[in-house]
Amino acid sequence: MKLPIRQYWTLLRTYLRTQRPRMAILGVLLALKVVLRLVNPQIIRVFLDQALTGAPLTALLRNGLAFLAIAAATQLLTVINVYVAETVAWTATNALRLDLLRHLLGLDMGFHKAHTPGELVERIDSDVDALSNFFSGLVINAIGNGVLAVGVLVLLFREGGLVSVIFTLYAIAGLIILMRLRNFTIPFYARLQEMRAQFYGFMGEQLSGTEDIRANGAQSYVMRRFYKYLRRWLPVDRNANLAGYSGWMTNAALVAVGECLAFGVAGYLWFRGEITIGTAYLITDYVGLLFGQIAELRWQLTDLQQAEASITRIQALFGLRSALSPGRGSPLPDGALGVAFHNVSFAYNDPVTKHNVETDVVTEIDGAAMNEDKVLSDLSFQLAPRRVLGLLGRTGSGKTTLARLLLRLYDPVSGQVCLGGMPLPEVSLDAVRQRVALVTQEVQLFQTSVRENLTLFKPGISDVTIDAVLRDLGLGPWLDSLPEGLDTALSSGGSGLSAGQAQLLAFARVFLTNPDLVILDEASSRLDPATEHLIERAIDLLLKERTGIIIAHRLNTIQRADEILILEEGRVREIGDRAQLAEDPTSHFHHLLQTGLQDVLV
């Protein structure tokens, strides 16, 4: 069996570095348990031999009390060991989960389009959870059980060379058989883990779309797919269980044969008068202990193999790199930011993933194998600081893609996107996200307090500032009606809020981040007439002394634009000053105004 020692050591060194005191305690506890488990059979041997030879009662009581004390101490050590080990495992796995989640959140949107949220949750939870035993002392316990087995063989050798040779050879043969069987069972468990990941990915996708499923009467379709997943899961789970059961039965048979052999050898030596009854008991007890350690070692190595599968998948995720460079860290100029696109082309060539069921490893294939249709083609325009651009075009013309490029959710296939005169790859991603804000018609609200929903968990924003922003946006009466003010918990998805209130909360987030470029992507399309004037006022406040891009279908939304850019199939159909284009009867924008934007652009 080949174990990836380097991978194991890297994880242990990384996530147990801060827990060295606890690991030292685990080592000491294990050493004490080994000693006590080797000593107790010796006490029983003495007790039996003394009882048969008529030793004084005080001597028997002394040995009996020693046996009970050691047994109690062993149980106490076990409880303490479990407590410390669980603390180590919980701390280490949580640290690993945080690192893995941080890494996944840093990957580009192409990765997240190729993997469902349910699949990633299964990876973060189940794969990391499979390492719990690994972090809680699996290696220490495996070493400890190996030391205990060696100790048993050494003590058996003291009782007779023949006994030691017989059971050493049998133990080695049994361990080889169990390891070969373990290698046979691992692929079944790998398939089972993959099946679970697919199932939970499906469930996460369906549950997140419950409203649309019900609205379109698709429950029967979902149930049919659910049933198919369960039918596929059944044989995979059954085969994995049968493989595991075969290992258990083989282990039980080896232990049974070993104990029969121990009784046979001990009985033979006793009948020949070469050993006492106490020594006969000692041999059988030690042999039972020996094969118990072999069984535990076998399960620990199985856990180690499962940990290896999880480590392989986790490292495969850690090995994925975002298609976006982190940026070179060049500073952006202060104040409102200008925008420039220079011959920009873009296509959603999201990565293709290939899955190896045997190893459960996901690898990425060249994205060129995907759709080659360009969403943007050779797009060029410039927007000066503090100017507002009205971005128009039919659905699929590339308007939202343009916004995503400015946020560096994607990088262009060719050409250059500049912000404040700086090419975006020259600027750090964090700086871009801090200086550019996007408001869409789809508002994501989380199941947490109003405060956390507005600050998005960023510290340092005072309640006074939040209160002032909400009141400036006309949400003062709503805030006053909340039972616990900013501490009031919102439900996931914003249940209980009107579309207008949810949209105004999205605007409040932007005010709190104080960006220098604001992109509004259909941000007022969900508002009812009663609250539309509030959002119009909010847009005016938000765009004051800032650069703005307004993606819209509605005429009143772009009346505040200084310039107009009309996209058609990813290319510039028309661009220019809004007032001049509106007055020019030959312009496409003039034609749109005459026929009505809402009817022409959707």
As to burial, measured by CB atoms within 10 angstroms (0-12 exposed, 13-18 middle, 19+ buried), residue 80 is: middle
Q: Are 435 and 332 in contact (CB under 8 A)?
A: yes
Q: What is the pLDDT of residue 367?
A: 42
DSSP secondary structure code for residue 398 in this structure: S
Asked whether residue 513 carries a pLDDT value surpassing 90, the answer given is no
- CA-CA distances (angstroms) from residue 520 to 221, 439, 525? 36, 5, 11
Which pair of tokens denotes residue 431?
């700086």
**Digit-coded pLDDT (tens) for 184-230:** 777 787 788 778 878 877 887 787 777 677 777 778 888 888 888 88
Q: Are 204 and 226 in contact (CB under 8 A)?
A: no
Question: Can you give the pTM of this predicted structure?
Answer: 0.68
The number of angstroms, rounded, from the C-alpha of 367 to the middle of its chain's C-alpha atoms is: 24
Q: What is the pLDDT of residue 336?
A: 92
Domains and CATH numbers, the chain: 5-319 (1.20.1560.10), 381-399+430-601 (3.40.50.300)
135-150 mean pLDDT:
75
How far apart CA 249 and CA 120 sit, in angstroms, is: 35
Asked whether residue 446 carries a pLDDT value surpassing 80, the answer given is yes
155-173 mean pLDDT:
78
Higher pLDDT: 523 or 17? It is 17
Which pair of tokens denotes residue 566?
């009309």
Q: What is the DSSP string of 89-134?
A: HHHHHHHHHHHHHHHHHTS-HHHHHHS-HHHHHHIIIIIHHTTHHI
Q: What is the pLDDT of residue 288?
A: 81
**Digit-coded pLDDT (tens) for 253-308:** 877 888 888 888 888 888 888 888 888 888 888 888 887 777 676 666 667 666 77
Task: Give me the percent of the chain exceeding a pLDDT of 70.
Answer: 87
Please state which of the ranges 6-15, 65-74, 470-479, 526-535 shows the lowest mean pLDDT: 526-535
**Digit-coded pLDDT (tens) for 408-438:** 988 999 999 999 999 999 999 888 988 999 8
Q: What is the DSSP string of 297-362?
A: HHHHHHHHHHHHHHHHHHHHHHH---SS-----PPPPSSS--EEEEEEEE---PPEEEEETTTTEE
Q: What is the pLDDT of residue 73?
A: 92
As to burial, measured by CB atoms within 10 angstroms (0-12 exposed, 13-18 middle, 19+ buried), residue 367 is: middle
Q: What is the pLDDT of residue 69?
A: 93
Mean pLDDT of all residues belonging to the chain: 81
Asked whether residue 407 carries a pLDDT value surpassing 80, the answer given is yes
Helices 529-543 and 499-513 cross at an angle (nearest 10°) of 10
**Digit-coded pLDDT (tens) for 69-121:** 998 998 898 889 888 888 888 888 888 889 998 888 888 887 888 777 777 87
341-367 mean pLDDT:
58
**Digit-coded pLDDT (tens) for 567-598:** 998 999 999 999 999 999 999 888 888 876 64
Q: Please list the alpha-helical segments (H only) found in 139-276.
A: 139-159, 161-208, 210-215, 219-271
Which pair of tokens denotes residue 448?
């947490």
How far apart CA 297 and CA 145 sit, in angstroms, is: 7
How far apart CA 525 and CA 203 sit, in angstroms, is: 31
| Exposure b/e, 503-537, CB count within 10 A at least 16 = b | bbbbbbbbbbbebbbbbbbbbbebbeeebeebbbe
Asked whether residue 492 carries a pLDDT value surpassing 50, the answer given is yes
